[in-house]
Amino acid sequence: MNDRLQKEYSSTALKEQLKYLQLLSEKFPNVQSASTEIINLSAILNLPKGTEHFLSDIHGETETFNHVLANASGVVKRKIDDVFGKSLRKKEKDMLATLIYYPKEKLGMILHDEDDPQEWYAITLQRLSMVARAAASKYTRSKVRKAMPKNFAYIIDELLNETGENKEEYYDSIINTIIQINRGEAFVIALSKFIQRLLIDRLHIIGDIFDRGPFAEKVMDRILNYHSVDIQWGNHDIVWMGAASGSLALIANVIRISLRYANLETLENGYGITLLPLATFAMNQYGNDPCDYFQTKAEADGSNYELVRKMHKAITIIQFKLESQIIARNPQFNMDDRLLLDKIDFKKGTVMVGDKEYELLDKNFPTVDPANPFALSDEEQEVMDKLKRNFINSQRLQKHIDFLYSNGSMYLAYNSNLLYHGCIPMDDDGNFQPLDVEGKKYAGKELFDNLERVARKGYFNRYDHKSDDSSLDYTWYLWCGPVSPLFGKKKMATFERQFIAEKEPHKEESNAYYKLAYNNEEYCDKILTEFGLNPGTSHIINGHVPVKVKKGESPVKANGKLFVIDGGMSKPYQKVTGVAGYTLIYNSYGLVLVEHQQFESAQKAIAEGKDIISKRMIIEKDATRKRVKDTDVGKEIQLQIDDLTMLLAAFRKGLIKENF
């Protein structure tokens, strides 16, 4: 091996490799340090793989999202059961679980009614230490130490490594001292959060953080502080990403959806974006118009939403104009069927959709010029310019969107799972549909890669967009285009739903993917192969389409090759789905799908111990427990071991000098 190595180093390519090994020797300067690292990395390969947690379609439901993160889709309770078995009553286990979920809030309630707080602390800290020890058992001590809260790192490290009877008094003394110096509360909180962190090694969010629910910005704050997370962009994310990039059409879409759901909290209070310019314009243009067909989803409570309806109509018309401009300047989008403002007969109050004429529900268009229907009026342009400045200059929004770009992507292939939000666009024959992106046609994986590239370009050029820069038009296409992987439908019928009473033109036909891949393994295998995964051992994890459990639908598709984990975390969907979402757990034993019932509130969870009622379905159980060596991280570690092994050979052959 060493003789061969010496001969091979005479080649140009291996001279370059020797340069690399020389650089590697700066970190591992001798045989001892390189050997120690090889031993350490080889040991890590044989640890159990970390637990992955998959969520999708959060839609601003921050309370439910926070609870699902805290209880790790039931992983916390399972770990408590593993540790205590039948030695604790269910009531005690539930209390311990709730304490781990909401340590600060639950502590206050418990201690208020507790006769002997010191005894309670002594028992509870022992129990939490046992759970933490079990959670830490699958990681290296180095990784566990990095996860420890700094203020209590030394103490937690000691408690986790309790061994034998000789130190029993020592550990009792640690806990008693914590209580005596009034650090019990802080330590319980730190230990509970430490347990949460250890139980989930990586969080995957399969899109749609934004829209519908009221607090998407709070969801983003939580994600920003999560220890290990990736995001696959959803269509409701890309619309905010494009708006933050300065796309006027997507700014109009964001505002219209917010008004439609009477959900202005995120825009105004979360991101500090004032809608006053739009409100003033709407009152001036639609002051005498009741805008009856622009009611919001919240008007059933009897509140007065007159101004909101006027703003809703004003921004909707602006949106249609801006979108028509994009379609007109991008013939490669093939979306001329979405040009409808120029199909209106303003005298008759009708519109032509396809080859059929429909009467309009609302016939008042004071800002549309029949001679130039796609043009914004001067007043509309002024409103949009002001709104664009608000979006571009919102520091919190820009921070969140920057995180989506730096930690997110159109798709992710990770540990034999292919993650994406919407679909792989297909025609009826199962061929990947092509799209012209900046003058060249792409399909399948290449389409994803190039649409992601263009979307990134649109965001990073947001302060200096030129008139001929079409990147933001492609970001808009990702929101609603017929070959968009994030949208998955042949049209977005916003105009028809808003202005036409007949149901026929409201239909939005889904991409053939949902028929083919959902029902046939062969199409899933084709997709997995396209993205470089082994079809025999891999799965697709999908969001976007709510699973209608009420109608007998299952989240498991294509004989277990594809999982759809949008079951309705968003409350508006739950009447249709019958559940409150699906999540997926992938641990060292296999895949577990978790079905959740509606979450009442964090307050009830804390006060009454009311957890989300969840049903676990073991989808795939491995006969052999998966180790780190079976993961993508394991493959990277093996490459490091290979490089270090080469470095050892170079040291021993005298090709690189050791340093001590």
Is the pLDDT assigned to residue 11 strictly greater than 70? Answer: no
Is the pLDDT assigned to residue 525 strictly greater than 70? Answer: yes
Mean pLDDT over residues 191-219, rounded?
A: 93
Residue 262 is predicted with a pLDDT of 84
Name the least confident of 71-75, 350-354, 366-370, 627-631: 71-75
Residue 300 is predicted with a pLDDT of 47
Q: Identify the DSSP state of 511.
A: P
| Partners of 52 in beta bridges | 202, 586
Contact 297, 262 (CB under 8 A): yes
The rounded mean pLDDT for the chain is 89
Is the pLDDT assigned to residue 42 strictly greater than 50? Answer: yes
Contact 122, 180 (CB under 8 A): no
Is the pLDDT assigned to residue 219 strictly greater than 50? Answer: yes
Predicted TM-score (pTM) of the model is 0.91
pLDDT band, residue 645 (cuts 50/70/90): very high
| Number of C-beta neighbours around residue 636 at 10 A | 11
Express each pLDDT in 550-590 by its tens digit: 677 888 999 999 999 875 666 665 565 555 678 899 999 98
Is the pLDDT assigned to residue 159 strictly greater than 90? Answer: no
Is the pLDDT assigned to residue 73 strictly greater than 50? Answer: yes
pLDDT band, residue 357 (cuts 50/70/90): very high
Residue 343 is predicted with a pLDDT of 96
- 570: phi > 0 → left, psi -120 to 50 → alpha, else beta; which? beta
User: Cα separation of 442 and 615, whole Å?
Assistant: 41
Is the pLDDT assigned to residue 508 strictly greater than 50? Answer: yes
Name the least confident of 42-46, 380-384, 446-450, 612-616: 612-616
Express each pLDDT in 419-435 by its tens digit: 999 999 999 999 999 99
Main-chain dihedrals φ then ψ at residue 366, nearest 5 degrees: -65, -20
Contact 155, 215 (CB under 8 A): no
Express each pLDDT in 259-304 by its tens digit: 998 888 899 999 999 999 999 999 999 989 999 999 887 664 445 6
- With H, G, I as helix, E, B as strand and everything else as coil, classify residue 261: coil
Residue 509 is predicted with a pLDDT of 93
Calculate the CA 177 to chain-centre distance: 42
Residue 184 is predicted with a pLDDT of 83
Tell which residue, 499, 257, 505, 496, has the closest CA to residue 364. 499
Q: Identify the DSSP state of 140.
A: -
Is the pLDDT assigned to residue 38 strictly greater than 90? Answer: yes
Express each pLDDT in 620-633 by its tens digit: 777 688 999 999 99
Q: Count of residues for the chain?
A: 660
CA 508 vs CA 334, 482, 494: distances in Å: 16, 10, 10
Residue 466 is predicted with a pLDDT of 62
Residue 346 is predicted with a pLDDT of 94
Outline where DSSP puts E strands in 125-261: 202-205, 229-232
More confident residue, 15 or 446: 446
Residue 542 is predicted with a pLDDT of 93
Write out the two tokens for 266: 């995120």
| Number of C-beta neighbours around residue 11 at 10 A | 10
- With H, G, I as helix, E, B as strand and everything else as coil, classify residue 399: helix
pLDDT band, residue 245 (cuts 50/70/90): very high
How many Cα atoms sit within 13 Å of 390 on the Cβ side?
22
pLDDT band, residue 641 (cuts 50/70/90): very high
Name the least confident of 43-47, 161-165, 213-217, 560-564: 161-165
How much of the chain, in percent, has pLDDT values that exceed 70?
91
Is the pLDDT assigned to residue 604 strictly greater than 80? Answer: no
Residue with tokens 């003394």: 173
Outline where DSSP puts E strands in 360-505: 408-409, 411-414, 417-420, 435-437, 440-442
Burial 181-216, CB ≥16 within 10 A → b, else e: eebbbbbbbbbbbbbbbbbbbbbbbbbbbbbbbbbb
Residue 121 is predicted with a pLDDT of 86
Express each pLDDT in 78-100 by its tens digit: 999 999 998 999 999 989 999 99
